[in-house]
Structure 1
Amino acid sequence: ESNGLFRQVATLSDARQIAEVIDEGRAMFVVSIPAEFASRLAQGQSTAVQLILDGRNSVTAGLASGYVSSIVGSYNRTLRQAAGLSGTGGVQIERRAWFNPNLESRWSLMPTLIASLSLIQTLLLAALSVAREREQGTFDQLLVTPLTPMQILVGKAVPSVMVGLMQSTIILLIIRFWFQIPMAGSIVTLYLGLLVFTVAAVGVGLSLSALSLTMQQAMLYTFLVVMPLMMLSGMLTPVRNMPEVLQVATYANPLRFGVAIARGVYLEGATLVDIVPHLIPLSVMIAVTLPLAAWLFRHRLG
């Protein structure tokens, strides 16, 4: 901690606690120091320190590994100068990256595309589907039917959800068979999470559509929304590394939870129980955005 690069978040006494702090994202890495560490150094012998990295974000893990290596190298030089240790003595690092053994950037990035590309597609489809009909005047014909605004919106949402899941399937096949990235979790769990995520994304798209009178407005609103959603999703920069204000803002971002589900199931082998904390906020978004879109339609048309 003295170098200002790292902050100690916990002191673990049991190796089984390592998985907990890594999985929950509380720690970027864990340094495991053996019990005989000090005694072996005092005897002029080599000893090993295990560095367990969170490989879900390969860039951050690579930087952390480099910094730790530099710190250990400096510590070794200090030991040799102060205690006259031989060149073969000192501390050696044994690195182990969980969920991404070789710290390949594509392992971290590709699963996130399942959610991010689907978000763009579903937002556009949902936003343009209603705006186009309103622009052409055919939406007025739907309003004279016995259907309620909510029923009309559900009918518009179903095709967008199906297209989003189809696109997710195509991306999933490319990741698995073209890029040869193995899937650690259950395909059923992944699709359940993607279904809830896609419905939430469609709800946002329909809300944007309710605010739009023309297709141009719908496209403009969509592109204005997509970039902040991508930047605040944790796809490139971990959410915990963002300023606190932005961390709070990410709770209103469906892509944050879609990325977490895709990475968690695909790379970590997360179970249904593991992704429930991500499904809950997505379900809240669905419960808010769909009624909001229906209310906006009623309000604008009234």
Structure 2
Amino acid sequence: MASLNRIWGLIVKELLALLKDPRARVVLIAPPLVQLLVFGYAATFDVNDVRVGVLNRDGGELSRRLVAGFSGAPAFHVTRHLDQIRQARPLLGDKKVDMVLHIGPDFGAHLHRGRAARAQVLVDGRNSNTAAIISQYAGSIVAAFNREALGNGGDAELAIRAWFNPNLVSRWFIVPGLVGVLTLVVTTLVTALSVAREREAGTFNQLLVTPLRPPEILLGKALPAIFIGLAEASVIVAFAVFWFGVPLAGDLRLLYLGLLLFMLSTVGMGLLISSLCATQQQALLGAFLYIVPAIILSGFATPIANMPETVQDLTLLDPLRYCLVVVRGVFLKDLPLELLLPQLWPMALIGLVTLSAAGALFRSRLG
């Protein structure tokens, strides 16, 4: 009984010490709430805003009814009308549409004769999960069209073709994304722990008596993380190509340019977290609080277009969002520099802001 009383007393002491500390209360309450909100709104596998481009070369009543079936479905929105099939590739490649419905000139004539008629659906296969769901939705709409619009024995058939990942191999979508995700984790953790480790060990104050200036200290903390991140990213790229068989269609120089700008932003965020934390435990919690939402909001697993508009605006502050577009674009599409610039400059801007903020905190701590 005495032993249980002593244990109970220790438990009460630890709980009181934990709950009386304002910082500890914030750590207990804020991170779970943030994770709940981010996961609840951003992590969804539903596809509810499919932008459709239509190329209707038939123009008859039945083809118009099929197009109406897509435009009337809650998940589909016809946003483009094409004149030629060659317009489909740039629209899909630039993510201006998620699907193209192509109806041939003999669609209605075949159905009126009681024969099978084909319509083609082109989807962006880079996100294999989304492409598969869109294909299923499209198949259900065509099945409903056959039941409701046709009674003479003809059937509309759907030919589905996935571009940029024709076999819808999920590895082609996931593995290139891991280049960005794992680089984010490594560089953020390395830099988040750097200053906190110095402060916890008591060696941070020794920097005050060295000839090093705050920008030099900042650079000395940032460069090792960038070197480690580049090395790890190179290993992942090699595994993606030679082990998992993901095609690398683009220029490695563009890939590493994007990764370097991405690492500037993640290192800046890690140093910012580290400068605000007094212990390594706080730094780990701060890094975790940043890393998990950054991955969820990046579009790594779930499409950004399916998130609420407010959350979509929030993703603009996430450098991983831009990095994934660069990595997947270089791997699967051989995107040129001019098409990657809209993804590169936001990462450079985020890196500049976070590194400047970390530098200002260094000056205030060392001043």
TM-score > 0.5 by shorter chain? yes
Instruction: Tell me if the contact between 2:193 and 2:284 (Cα under 8 Å) persists in the aligned partners.
Output: yes
2:94 and 2:158 map into 1 onto residues whose CA distance is 24
Letter in 2 for 1:193: G
Of 206, 214, 237, which aligns to 2:279?
214
C-alpha distance in 2, partners of 1:291/1:79? 63
Match of 1:186 among 245, 251, 259: 251
Alignment partner, residue 126 of structure 1: 191
Structure 2 partner of 1:11: 81
Distance across 1 between alignment mates of 2:318 and 2:148: 48
State the 1:227 CA deviation. 0.9
CA distance, structure 1, for counterparts of residue 353 and residue 86 of structure 2: 39
Counterpart of 1:42? 112
Note if contact 1:150-1:290 (Cα within 8 Å) is conserved in structure 2.
no
Give the partner amino acid of 2:330: V
SS at match of 1:101: coil
Shift of 1:97: 0.6
The aligned residue for residue 276 of structure 1 is 341
Q: Deviations over 1:250-269 (max 9, x none)?
A: 11111111111111111122
Alpha-carbon separation, structure 2, partners of 1:299 and 1:120: 27
Three-state SS of the structure 2 residue aligned to 1:219 is: helix
Query: Which amino acid in structure 2 is aligned with residue 191 of structure 1?
Result: Y
Aligned partner of 1:78 in structure 2 is 148
Q: How far did 1:43 drift?
A: 3.4
Could you tell me which amino acid in structure 2 is paired with residue 12 of structure 1? L
User: Match for 1:58 among 128, 141, 160?
Assistant: 128
Measured after TM superposition, the shift of residue 272 of structure 1 is 1.8
**Is 1:2 the equivalent of 2:72?**
yes
Which residue identity does 2:292 align to in structure 1? Answer: M
Superposed, which structure 2 residues align to 1:97-176 within 5 Å?
97-176=162-241
2:162 is paired with a residue whose SS is: strand
For the residues of structure 2 that align with 1:257 and 1:144, how far apart are their CA atoms?
41
Larger Rg: 2
Deviates more, 1:239-248 or 1:130-139: 130-139
- Report the Cα distance in structure 1 between the residues aligned to 2:147 and 2:281, rounded to whole angstroms: 64
The equivalent residue for 2:92 is 22
Residues 182-218 of structure 1: CA deviation (Å, up to 9, x unaligned): 1121112111111111111111101111111111111
Residue aligned with 1:147, SS: coil
Task: Tell me the distance in 2 between the aligned counterparts of 1:293 and 1:79.
Answer: 64
Question: What percentage of aligned pairs have identical amino acids?
Answer: 44
Partner of 2:315: 250
Q: Distance in 2 between matches of 1:143 and 1:260?
A: 42
Corresponding residue number in structure 1 for 2:156: 91
Deviates more, 1:168-177 or 1:11-20: 11-20
Normalization by structure 2: what TM-score? 0.77
The number of residues matched between the two structures is 297
More deviation, 114-123/261-270: 261-270
Could you tell me whether the CA contact under 8 Å between 1:150 and 1:291 is conserved in 2? no
Return the match for 2:332 from 238, 242, 267: 267
Structure 2 alignment gaps of length 5 or more? 1-70
1:79 Cα deviation (Å)?
A: 4.2
Aligned partners of 2:201 and 2:149: how far apart in 1? 78
Counterpart-to-counterpart distance in 2, 1:197 and 1:213: 26
Mapped partners of 2:175, 2:79: distance in 1: 29
